[in-house]
Amino acid sequence: MARYLVTGVAGFIGSNIAHALVVRGEQVRGIDDFRHGRAENLAGIADKIDLREADITDTAAIGSACRDIDFVLHQAALGSVPRSIEDPVSSNDANVVGTLKVLEAARAAGVKRVVYASSSSVYGDTPVLPKREDMPCHPISPYAVTKYAGELYAQSFSRVMSLEAVSLRYFNVFGPRQHPTSQYAAVIPKFVRSILAGEPPVIFGDGKQSRDFTYVDNVVSANLLACTAPAENVVGKVFNIAAGKNFSVNDLYAMLQDLTGFRRAAVNEPPRGGDVRDSLADISRAQKAMGYKTLVEFEEGLRRTVEWYKREFARQPGSSVATV
């Protein structure tokens, strides 16, 4: 039985990883400061994991959390491109300083391997598709800069600090437990919440911008594969984690309309600063190095996500689901 530490364990991706590890019967420790993570994301497993409420920038807390751990799955971050533009200093503190402290704590504790959650945003708005890991990175937003800095730290620790580290570049992850109400929420939960409330969603720009939407189960699988893949295949390297297909925002809304029966036109607003136009991943490197594959395709993941939000929405007092 391996021992795992999940940072950001009460967040969207972290909680999905923790649930999967508990189902597998692994020993799980989680750390979260609960500024953005939610206790309800850990419903059913909170009493089955070693849960610690602390900030990853707290040197003593993260040092203690890394003791007697085999693998660190570092998901904790201050997400959102718009938020990073409004407050780049906080993004840097959480994502760069926090990541550095996680890596140093893991090295000092003798952790076998750290898997770092990076982002496709590091590629920037280069027109070449699909994105390959050997392409130059041109991050646009402060958020993207922080994620790229984390990758460089992970590579540095792998090369000169005797710590195995792997970086995974996530592409537009979605699925259950993704929070829909924040102004910084991702497009799919925001769209679904609007539809279920009977309100037309907002599309920034013309809606023709495309994304490689990646269901969360695929990301969970990638993290676990990255822990045990041969060191020569993965350590000190970066990998795209995606579905390898892209859909426009307009396509997304049309599919959600078919799934829900909601037929009102979306509201278009001006494009947001810092957003890339198109995104599509080449996932062949991850497939060859660690046996990664798309377990759940976009359409099926979207169906599962809508059903999950319907159940969550129905639990709220006075709620009703729009069907026209």
What phi and psi, each to the nearest 5 degrees, are found at residue 115? -110, 120
Tally of CA atoms within 13 A in the half-sphere of 26 that contains its CB: 19
β 247-248/173-174 pair status: unpaired
Q: Which of 4, 123, 143, 309 is catalytic?
A: 143
Q: For helices 187-196 and 249-260, give the axis angle rounded to 10 degrees.
A: 30
Peptide bond into 130 cis (omega under 30): yes
Q: With contact defined as beta carbons under 8 Å apart, do 123 and 138 qualify?
A: yes
What is the 8-class DSSP label of residue 46? G
| Residue bearing tokens 């979306």 | 266
Active-site annotation holds for 184: no
Q: How many residues does the chain have?
A: 324
Q: Which residues are catalytic?
A: 143
